[in-house]
Structure 1
Amino acid sequence: MSGVSAQSKDSFFLNLRFLLIVCVFIANALEPLIGINTWADRWYTWIFMFHMPLFVWVTGYFARLSLKGEAGGRVLLQIMAQYIIFQSLYSLLDKAFFHVQGLHHSFFAPYLLLWFLASHFCWRLLLLAMRRLPPAVQLTASITLGGLAGYLPFEGTWLSISRTFIFLPFFILGYHMTYEKISLLLTPRIRSAAIAMSLLLFAGAVWVSAHLQTGWLYGSMTYTELGHGEWYAGFYRIGIYMLQLTASAAFLGLVPLTSGWLSRMGSRTLYVFLLHGFIIRGAAASGIYTYVHTTYGIAFIMITACLLTVLLSLPGIKRAAHLFIEPNVDWLLMLFNRLAEFCPKSWRTASRIETKS
């Protein structure tokens, strides 16, 4: 594997990222039909076993090149800008066009899918705080924090605090992952076994949805909200981690290894992630779900979600939406460093965003 180029190494993770954003789109499109159609329940539950842990994992992998220094500061500022822009846009559309009732719009309560931006911001800060610790200690600490997060005495959706700690172990695992490590597990025999396991989990997804509250897979609810106020409820989280790790490892067997159009679209998943919510919201408001609740309707929704994912991954969408999805934050970077000049000399260096990574 030593002769594999850096681009080829990243292709696997880019391919994975695209397949995951397809799963995100499908799951969100199927959500209004949960409890109405068995096939919707099966696909939805199967996807939720792995798609969020794996998305956090692959995000951690790509954070390796931009965690510290100027690159890290720029990413943090960009995440903050994206959050402010899209939290405002989605809230405005809900109020002015979709007239959604019962939603609490606040910058301290991330709007639906925007929890990922808030948590990504925090994952980077937490990993920076732990960067001097050995990886094994980082992982142990993150699993402990993930288990303790369920005992919070307030709603876990506040600033996405529950998901931040619950999915932190996957971010740390991804950060310390290399292609050389993962390639050892990508032999034809292991991939075949992984695909078989993934199909087995899909077959058992209906049983899981009937016996396991989906909130455990969301990671956004405290143990009290899940109906488990016992002191030992944290051990249930360990069991969920094991299920998610198994489902995630199994799904990796479905990911192509070669570089190509899938990899190129995988480099533009941010656009699908931030824009597809408008389509989902519009579809829900249109009343289309009253006509597509049959098995054929489920197939139609899933195929449409796949096609729209491809559409939103096209270069033209990136050119059109680049300014507000990947806003230029250089001016914020300069402002931050200017303000740091007025800080006490004892911590000025720590406050300033370095110009070298």
Structure 2
Amino acid sequence: MFHVGHERSPLPPARPGATAQSAPSAPSAPEAVRTGQGSGAGGAKQRDAFFDNAKFLAIALVVVGHAWRPVIDDSRAVLAAYNFVYAFHMPAFIIVSGYFSRSFDMRPGRVRRLVTGVLVPYLIFETAYSLFRKAADSPDHPVSLLDPWYLTWFLIALFVWRLTTPLWKTLRRPLPIALGIALLASASPDIGNDLDLQRVLQLLPFFVLGLCLRPEHFERVRQRGARLLSVPVAAAALVFAYWSGPRMNFEWFYHNSSGQELGVPWWIGVAMNLAMFACSLVLSACFFAWVPRRHMWFTALGAGTLYAYLLHGFLVQASRIFGWYDAFPWITTPAGIVVLTIGAAALAAVLCSSPVRRTFRFAMEPRMDWLFKRDAAEAARQRTGGPAGSAGTAESAESAGAARTAETAGSR
């Protein structure tokens, strides 16, 4: 059903004497959704509310899931909710990342934005997290840019996935190939920890699926029938999560270990990963079905999910290292878990806010014009008043949107 399409290049600017019939039309729906923007009054750009809502809700689930982790041994209900959320929030993030990577190619402008929007934040925060851990409780913890620690794995994974985008766009059936690679990785315990390659390969099919999706696919899951069907499906998944919680190793949801490393034969690891791929797809569809399409109070926060993703990890690690949960035993009570959940969601909202984004923009979205050569073709288009400025804005929003989906993925 899915295939990778090749998008047409932007139309040239209209000639001064062109008639109305020959003038370029407004962006089509697929193009507007691809960049996360559409035409507004006076030519202003407007972000797509659906994807901003999806990104914020997903990052809120990430923060809540990390807040739940220390108490899952004290409550079977929290363990069930934890497993349920981890079954889809990471795949949903990666699907959106792939969707916003569909137009990526090796043009200099897009490579620059990939470096400054993904690779540089990875280098900064991998170093910062490692130094934080060395200072907090592990003086011997190495600072290694090849062995991602904690949340930073998603950035290096996104960097690798996006670099391979042109390859996937040339294949006739990219999704089955990506799934085959993921299943082979799940049966290969000797892959090692460099670049967290086990997780990069196991989660690759979700990124490739995002590359294959089109706006009409998201429209299908948001139809009334799909939304109604998603309710009993999600309820059944929650019941199953409650039943299987004590019987299942929740480390399957991290996708960073082979089957043998989790104590099962290789073929069970392959079967388990295939089943989890199907489960994650279904629950991701249920999630997208209920994401609001209209502008909500939290819609604007969807532009800052990368900030919440990378910054909340310091608080999560501090809570575990310094025993904050042990200092408040009531947190394991039902009322305490409710307070914990609301507080974690509120923290996600704060970390996505404009003041936080302005403060940390130097690390998340650095301007590094000094590092790159000037693109002569783009400079020429800007001098002649061509569409380079608006195209550059759209591409920048697209790259930033993909990076900010990191928002979303869980880790130990």
| TM superposition score category, shorter chain reference | 0.7 to 0.9
Q: Give the structure 2 partner of residue 353 of structure 1.
A: none
Among residues 120, 129, 133, which one is paired with 1:81 in the alignment? 120
- Residues 148 and 234, structure 1, Cα contact 8 Å, conserved in 2: yes
1:173 is aligned to 209
Which of 300, 322, 330 pairs up with 2:361? 322
Please list, as runs of the form range in 1=range in 2, the aligned pairs for 1:293-304 lying within 5 A after superposition.
293-304=332-343
Counterpart residue number, 1:129: 167
The AA in structure 2 aligned to 1:199 is A
Match of 2:194 in 1: 158
Q: CA deviation at 1:33?
A: 1.7
The superposition leaves residues 167-201 of structure 1 with CA deviations (integer Å, 9 ceiling, x where unpaired) of 11111111222222210221112112113322332
Aligned position for 2:129: 90
1:58, CA displacement in angstroms?
0.8
Query: Any idea what the Cα deviations from partners look like across 1:98-128, whole Å, max 9, x if unmatched?
Result: 2148855422211111110111111112222
| Aligned-partner Cα distance in 1 for 2:140–2:84 | 29
Counterparts of 1:285 and 1:15, CA distance in 2: 32
Of 86, 91, 96, 1:48 maps to: 86
The reply to whether residue 264 of structure 1 matches residue 303 of structure 2 is: no
Where in structure 2 are the equivalents of 1:328-343 lying within 5 Å? 328-334=367-373
Alignment equivalent of 1:194, drawn from 215, 230, 247: 230
- Please report the TM-score for the alignment, with normalisation by the length of structure 1: 0.86
Aligned residues of 1:53 and 1:248 also touching (Cα < 8 A): yes
Cα distance in 1 for residues equivalent to 2:234 and 2:365: 35
1:219-271 C-alpha deviation (Å, 9 max, x unpaired):
00011111123346423221111111122122223211113443321111011
2:147 aligned to which of 109, 122, 144: 109
Report if the CA contact (8 A) 1:157-1:221 is conserved.
Answer: no
Residue equivalent to 1:222: 258
Matched with 1:32 is: 70
Query: Residue in 2 aligned with 1:349?
Result: none
Distance in 2 (alpha carbons) for counterparts of 1:183 and 1:261: 22
Q: CA deviation at 1:158?
A: 2.9
CA displacement 1:299-340 (0-9 Å, x = unmatched) = 111111111111111111111110111112333332999xxx
2:49 to 11, 14, 34: 11
Q: Helix, strand or coil: the match of 1:130?
A: helix
* Alpha-carbon displacement from aligned partner over 1:54-77 (angstroms, at most 9, x marks no partner): 010011112234444234302331
Mapped partners of 2:105, 2:232: distance in 1: 36
Within the candidate set 247, 252, 277, 2:283 is matched to 247
Question: Partner letter of residue 119 of structure 1?
Answer: A
The normalised TM-score by structure 2 is: 0.75
**Contact 2:187–2:259 (CA under 8 A) maintained in structure 1:** yes
Moved more, 44-53 or 184-193: 184-193
Alpha-carbon contact 2:307-2:364 (below 8 Å) kept = yes
Q: Which has the larger radius of gyration?
A: 2
Cα distance change, pair 315–104 in 1 and its aligned pair in 2 (3 A): same
The number of equivalent residue pairs is 334
Q: How many angstroms does 1:209 deviate by?
A: 2.1
Shift in CA distance, 199/157, structure 1 to aligned 2, threshold 3 Å: farther
The 3 A distance-change label for structure 1 pair 229 and 3 is closer
User: How many angstroms apart in 2 are the aligned matches of 1:85 and 1:166?
Assistant: 25
Partners of 1:194 and 1:252 within 8 A in 2? no
Worse-matched range after superposition: 141-150 or 36-45: 36-45
Q: Identify unmatched segments of 5+ residues in structure 1.
A: 338-356
2-structure distance, mates of 1:275, 1:67? 30
* Deviation of 1:218 (Å): 0.9
Letter aligned with residue 108 of structure 1: L
Q: CA deviation at 1:25?
A: 0.4
C-alpha distance in structure 2 between counterparts of 1:150 and 1:3, whole Å = 38
1:63 aligns with 2:101: yes
Write the distance in 2 (CA, Å) between the matches of 1:263 and 1:275: 20
Contact kept in structure 1, 2:91 and 2:280, CA below 8 Å: yes
Structure 2 residue 124 is matched with structure 1 residue 120: no
Q: What residue is the counterpart of 2:41 in the other structure?
A: none
Where 1:128 maps in the other structure, the secondary structure is helix
Moved more, 50-59 or 172-181: 172-181
AA matched with 2:178: S
Between stretches 325-334 and 302-311, larger displacement belongs to 325-334
Amino acid at match of 2:357: K
> Which stretch of structure 1 is more off in the superposition, 51-60 or 124-133?
124-133
The one-letter code matched in structure 2 to 1:276 is: H
Provide the rounded CA distance (Å) in 1 between the counterparts of 2:244 and 2:370.
49
Alignment partner of 1:211 out of 244, 247, 254:
247
Amino acid at match of 2:350: L
Name the counterpart of 2:174: 138
Runs of 4+ deviating beyond 6 Å: 2-5
Question: Any conservation in 2 of the 1:11–1:258 contact (CA below 8 Å)?
Answer: yes
1:184 aligns with 2:226: no
